[in-house]
Structure 1
Amino acid sequence: MAGDTLGQVFRFTNWGESHGKAIGGVVEGCPAGLELSESDLQPALDRRRPGQSKIVTQRKEADQVEILSGTVDGKTTGTPISLIIHNKDQRSKDYSEMAKLYRPSHADFTYQQKYGIRDVAGGGRSSARVTAPTVAAGAIAQKLLLQAFGINIVGFVKSVGDISTNIDPLTVSLKDVEANPVRCPDADVAEKMIKRIEQVRKQGDSTGGIVECVIHQVPIGFGEPIFDKLEADLAKAMLSINASKGFEIGSGFEGTQLLGSQHNDPFVNQSGEVKTASNFSGGVQGGISNGMPIIFRVAFKPTATIIQDQSTVDVEGNPTTFKAKGRHDPCVLPRAVPIVEAMAALVICDHWLRMKAYL
């Protein structure tokens, strides 16, 4: 299977299945000399892990990461860093019925048609479970970026269904995001979101929403002008996350409602530095970072697995009905936040090291 590696210089390869013995990844291109241990990675994984609150899946996985290679005496050696997370709470019997049919809006049908075989238990490779190693790898990238430039990445839940916050993303801190289980920094709106998720969960249904993310302190010059535009690589990374269905940066789709005279970002001199008075560009112009905060949003669909009767067909094409079993997120948004942050870190770190290679 191709398509398991992200990045050109800072490269991350993801492996494993939802109900396999383990999941993991390999990070290549990390500079030597970075102090690194499992304790640097575990906090990010704890934010992504299942079972952390009543509004997410109740699968019990500690998601304890182990570094198998690439470090000596607590420092990176410049060689590949291998990461492993053992699966502990598989219930493959919950998925036995799925071998005979195709679940609506899942990867069952497309995997079967493409490869002629599929891993039924938990969706195998298509499961969001495999994002755990990505979060661990992202934590390495985040530590590198913080030390090199003071780059800080903060994601949060902007909306759940039609419930949305208008909070200024530039004012949001990690502490604000972690103040409640839905990871919305607007306390009043967060309460409404939690109630909505609990409501759809009791109905055996699901809901979607939007994660907004801000990358602070990105230097000027990250990104390439044509096919490897910074926003293009961010879009690819975000749209590779399970259940993601949309990406926009800066003004995004709302910018289409403005005139050019309203949308252009005027350049100004701020204490000897060239900045823009507004940031409709979202921190990227011509595919290259311009020194302003990078602001983007990722849309996530309602979770495909719902505990209701649904119409589908079996593997022979005969009409049938299906009702999911097992433990699933009624809304992926709270656990998607650290995944979005990790993906952003991987892309930014790769473009930083690519730029260093030119200099």
Structure 2
Amino acid sequence: MRNTFGRVFAITTFGESHGKGLGVIIDGCPAGVEIDEDFIRSEMQRRKPGQSKITTQRKEEDEFQILSGVFEGKSTGTPISIVILNTDQKSKDYSHIADKFRPSHADYTYHHKFGVRDYRGGGRSSARETAARVAAGAVAKLMLRSFGVTVQAYVSQAGPIKLEKHYSELDLTLTERNIVRCPDPELAEKMIAYIDEIRKDRDTVGGVVSCVAAGVPPGLGEPVFDRLHAALGHAMLSINAVKGFEYGSGFEGVQMRGSEHNDAFYKEGDRIRTRTNHSGGIQGGISNGEDIYFRVAFKPVATIMQDQESVNEAGESTVVSGKGRHDPCVVPRAVPIVEAMCALVLADFLLLNRLSKL
């Protein structure tokens, strides 16, 4: 099982949902990066459970400890290790599915692949693993600050309720001002009401998180197999419950003619820019200096508070009853996860680019 992501700025995560805790080892972070623990804490708070009525009611403060790699507030260039202890796991909530496979979970596939599985909340397959990613992503964001790169995500769709505006028309500073993390206040209220209605129906719903990376310099990415958008796609599709990724004009671009879709170049001061950005800031797999923007689709949470038909480990028909504490819609808490994975990719490619020019 591979638990490492990245090549130069690389992370390895460990731990399970109902184990003693989770953590991450960050290797390759340059020395001298200011490690702002308050910032890391604020990122963890954005992902933590129990935030509002439309998230799981598991209560985890996601307090963390930095065990190594930081001295007097700055990275030393050695591996940074961070641990997050679990404090509110209720493993008994899962005893009823110890030998049953929950529909659309990783229960059957983990059992088939490894011959053993941790049924308590899914073990390693649980989305709680993303707490470690957010901690590492916060460090990556701190490194990106010195390059003038920012990453900001927001909820652009919850079920059928879709934000039609382009990100350039939005005030993204409004994203954190509501519990669904949509920068359109009016639409946010509709999303919240819809998700709460789904929750009361003992069901779940999916959504879309959009993300914008600004200030990315041109030249990041490698030809052919290690294209920047391929790495971003890999990162996003590695997140629990993700079913789709598109960047730039994405699938809508197929309706355009080449004469409409091509991004014309022009000179603005010392910069070469494009008048439109259907390319999503990436051409030929390499960043061109424009904003990188993409969308990530999340499926409905697989655990629902209803009886579902299934089978057990013996292949016998059975019924799985939903229990425990789960999100009715994952996208509000997925916003910082998407940002974290984007930041990790960009940090890695910035350092790779630096090495290629030595």
Amino acid at match of 1:184: C
Q: Which residue of 1 aligns with 2:260?
A: 262
Per-residue deviation at 1:320? 1.4
Mapped to 1, the partners of 2:85 and 2:92 lie a distance apart of 19
3-state secondary structure, aligned to 1:219: coil
Counterpart mapping for 1:15-94 below 5 A: 15-94=14-93
Partner residue, 1:106: 105
- More displaced 10-residue stretch of structure 1: 196-205 or 171-180: 171-180
The residue type paired with residue 84 of structure 2 is I
Q: TM-score, normalised by structure 2?
A: 0.98
SS in 1 for 2:50: coil
The change in CA–CA distance for 1:68 and 1:37 in structure 2 (over 3 A counts) is farther
- Trace 1:1-359 onto structure 2 (pairs within 5 A): 1=1, 3-147=2-146, 149-172=147-170, 175-359=173-357
Contact 1:225–1:287 (CA<8 Å) still a contact in 2? Answer: yes
Q: Does the Cα contact within 8 Å between 2:137 and 2:341 map onto a contact in 1?
A: yes
Q: Give the C-alpha shift of residue 167 in structure 1.
A: 2.7
Distance 2:82 2:173 in 1: 27
For structure 2, the 5+ residue unaligned runs are none
Deviation at 1:175, TM superposition (A): 2.8
Q: What amino acid maps onto 1:62 in structure 2?
A: E
Distance of 1:120 and 1:71 partners within structure 2: 36
**CA separation in 1, counterparts of 2:121 and 2:60?**
14
Letter in 2 for 1:87: N
Percent sequence identity over aligned pairs: 56
* Residues 285-344 of structure 1, C-alpha deviations (whole Å, 9 max, x = no match): 000000000000000000000001111111111111111100000000000000000000
Pick closer, same or farther for the CA change 1:68–1:140 going to 2, 3 Å. Answer: same
Letter in 2 for 1:125: R
The question of whether the paired residues in 2 share the 8 Å contact of 1:38 and 1:65 is answered with no
1:100 alignment partner, SS class: coil
Secondary structure, counterpart of 1:140 in structure 2: helix
Distance 2:45 2:162 in 1: 25
Inter-partner Cα distance in structure 1 for 2:172 and 2:27 = 28
For 1:178 and 1:130, locate their aligned partners in 2 and report how far apart those are by CA, in whole Å. Answer: 23
CA distance in 1, matches of 2:249, 2:324: 39
Task: Compare 37-46 and 294-303 and name the one that shifted more.
Answer: 37-46
Q: Distance in 1 between matches of 2:243 and 2:236?
A: 9
Moved more, 160-169 or 44-53: 160-169
CA contact (8 A) 2:34 2:142 kept: no
Q: Secondary structure of 2:246's match? A: strand
Which residue identity does 1:275 align to in structure 2?
R
1:21–1:173: structure 2 CA closer, same or farther, 3 Å change rule? farther
Distance 1:334 1:263, change over 3 A: same
- 1:118 CA displacement: 0.2
Q: Secondary structure at the match of 2:211?
A: strand
Count of residue pairs the alignment pairs up: 357
Q: Distance in 1 between matches of 2:326 and 2:55?
A: 7
* Higher deviation after alignment, 95-104 or 339-348: 95-104
Letter in structure 2 aligned against 1:146: R
- Cα RMSD, aligned residues only: 1.0
Q: Distance in 1 between matches of 2:143 and 2:46?
A: 20
Scaled by the length of structure 1, the TM-score of the pair is 0.98
- Partner SS state of residue 68, structure 1: strand
Q: Post-superposition, which runs of at least 4 consecutive aligned residues in structure 1 deviate over 4 A?
A: 171-174
State how far apart, in whole Å, the 1-side matches of 2:34 and 2:170 are.
28
1: CA distance between counterparts of 2:312 and 2:64?
38
CA distance in 2, matches of 1:266, 1:338: 33
Contact 1:37 1:67 in 2 (8 A): no
Letter in 1 for 2:206: G
Q: Do the aligned residues in 1 keep the contact of 2:170 with 2:184 (CA within 8 Å)?
A: no
After superposition, what is the alpha-carbon deviation per residue over 1:222-244, rounded to whole angstroms, capped at 9, x for unaligned?
A: 11111110000000000000000
The Cα offsets for residues 256-306 of structure 1, whole Å up to 9 and x where unpaired, read as 111111111111122342111111100000000000000000000000000
Q: Quote the Cα distance in structure 2 between the aligned partners of 1:323 and 1:52.
A: 25
- Offset at residue 173 of structure 1 (A): 5.1
CA distances 1:181-200 after superposition (whole Å, capped 9, x unpaired): 00000111111100110011
